[in-house]
Amino acid sequence: MAPAVRRKKRKDEIKVTIAPFRNLTDYKTCEDIQREVWHCQDIDIVPAPMLLVASRTGGIILGAYNSLGELVGFAFSLLGVAGGKPVQHSYMLAVRAAYRNFDVAFKLKAAQRKESLKRKISMINSSFDPMQPLNAYFTLGKLGAWADLYEENFCGETTSQLDRGLPTDRLLTHWNLADAEVARRLETGPPRRDYRKDLKQRQIINQLTEVAPGMMSCSPVKLNCTAPQFLFEVPYNLQEIKNRDLGIALEWQGKMRQVFRHYFKKDYMAVDFWVIEQDGRLRAFYILAKKK
Ligand SMILES: CC(C)(COP(=O)(O)OP(=O)(O)OC[C@H]1O[C@@H](n2cnc3c(N)ncnc32)[C@H](O)[C@@H]1OP(=O)(O)O)[C@@H](O)C(=O)NCCC(=O)NCCS
């Protein structure tokens, strides 16, 4: 089922309240959530005192609380400067597994945006792992952020199980908080699309081949596309591929490096991520568009 369909059904099933951390216990619980969500060693945990200082020096830390007042997720951003202007740099976003796919992260980000705008900051920068379709869909599709920079091995080696021994490549994103399209997406969700038509109208620069059950490899990619928009298809189950076959995962990372680095140099940016159900299977696409 495509994410847009699932969202409508489940979003109101869990009630959460979004608010700044209430006390020191929340900061300590945040350490626990980091361990639980990223399955990382303590060297990669942002400790409570650092979170506290960052939140008192212009950063924003928000918690999602369930009906019992328990912390079930958080969003943490640092105050930074980009192009001479103040920005928030979103460093961590996490939701406990039992509370996922109920819009908890979406509500955290909406509150982070509201708080930033209140502080007269209209940009939140961030980064995500392009090998995680969920994060690509959440950031580009659901929030309406965009990316025009690809960094290889951005954070070096980490102990996070989500990185699974791969170089920590990241897409660096900008979330333009005052943009009308961003406001619209927060209000009504990603646009409803006629995906069949959308696919017909746009070039796909690669093809996927199933080399073993559930394991997709990538054809050579076209690097001569000049259309205003085109699609780069990736396997919907990339995270599973990462867990099952590091070799194929590395091949995919190589393709991402090639596509994003090449087209970003040619003034394209990654502007959306679609998950489409077609003939009983889920297909996932990065949408690249030429800068205006
Ligand atoms: C990323 C994370 C914070 C999202 O939290 P969440 O509360 O589940 O997020 P939301 O419910 O607001 O949105 C998740 C969306 O992803 C969709 N989704 C779920 N699995 C997906 C997948 N494998 N591929 C693409 N989209 C997927 C959901 O359907 C939902 O979209 P919808 O509302 O349009 O249906 C959470 O999964 C998490 O803590 N992950 C580990 C930490 C991490 O990666 N943080 C970095 C975030 S960029």
Site to substitute for ligand 1 among 109, 138, 171, most atoms within 8 A of C-beta:
138
275 CA closest ligand 1 atom index:
25
Dihedral pair phi/psi, residue 129, rounded to 5°: -80, 115
* Ligand 1 centroid, distance to 133 Cα (angstroms): 9
* Atom 42 (ligand 1) nearest CA: 94
Q: Do the Cβ atoms of 91 and 77 come closer than 8 Å?
A: yes
> Is residue 145 within 6 Å of ligand 1 at its C-beta?
no
Q: Which two tokens stand for residue 173?
A: 């994103």
Half-sphere exposure at residue 186, Cβ-oriented, CA atoms within 13 angstroms = 20
For residue 5, the model assigns a pLDDT of 45
Q: Cα 157 to the chain's mean position, in Å?
A: 20
* Ligand 1 centroid, distance to 138 Cα (angstroms): 6
Q: Do the Cβ atoms of 217 and 251 come closer than 8 Å?
A: yes
Residue 282 has pLDDT above 70, yes or no: yes
Torsion of CA 110, 115, 121, 123, to 10 degrees: -20
> Is residue 235 within 6 Å of ligand 1 at its C-beta?
no
Tell me the three state secondary structure of residue 265.
helix
* Ligand 1 centroid, distance to 257 Cα (angstroms): 23
Q: CB within 8 A of 128, min separation 6: which ones?
A: 135, 136, 138, 139, 170, 171, 173
> Is residue 100 within 6 Å of ligand 1 at its C-beta?
yes
* Ligand 1 centroid, distance to 174 Cα (angstroms): 18
Count of CB atoms within 10 A of residue 120's CB?
7
Dist. CA 133–CA 137, nearest whole Å: 6
> Is residue 276 within 6 Å of ligand 1 at its C-beta?
no
> Is residue 101 within 6 Å of ligand 1 at its C-beta?
yes
Residue 39 has pLDDT above 70, yes or no: yes
Q: Do the Cβ atoms of 83 and 174 come closer than 8 Å?
A: no
Q: Which homologous superfamily does the CATH classification assign to the domain defined by 1-115?
A: Gcn5-related N-acetyltransferase (GNAT) (3.40.630.30)
> Is residue 3 within 6 Å of ligand 1 at its C-beta?
yes
Model pTM score: 0.94
Show the CA angle centred on residue 217, arms to residues 212 and 220, nearest 5°. Answer: 150
pLDDT tier for residue 14 given thresholds of 50, 70 and 90: confident
128-177 pLDDT, tens digit per residue, is: 999 999 999 999 999 999 999 999 999 888 877 777 678 999 999 999 99
141 CA closest ligand 1 atom index:
34
For residue 11, the model assigns a pLDDT of 65
Give me the residue spans of the domains in the chain: 1-115, 195-290
Go through the chain and tell me how many residues it has: 292
Dist. CA 121–CA 181, nearest whole Å: 17
Site to substitute for ligand 1 among 8, 137, 173, most atoms within 8 A of C-beta:
137
Q: Are strands 123-128 and 85-95 parallel, antiparallel or unpaired?
A: parallel
For residue 1, the model assigns a pLDDT of 39
pLDDT tier for residue 196 given thresholds of 50, 70 and 90: confident
Q: Which two tokens stand for residue 140?
A: 């580009």
Question: Distances in Å between the alpha carbon of 174 and those of 70, 139, 253, 292?
Answer: 31, 10, 22, 16
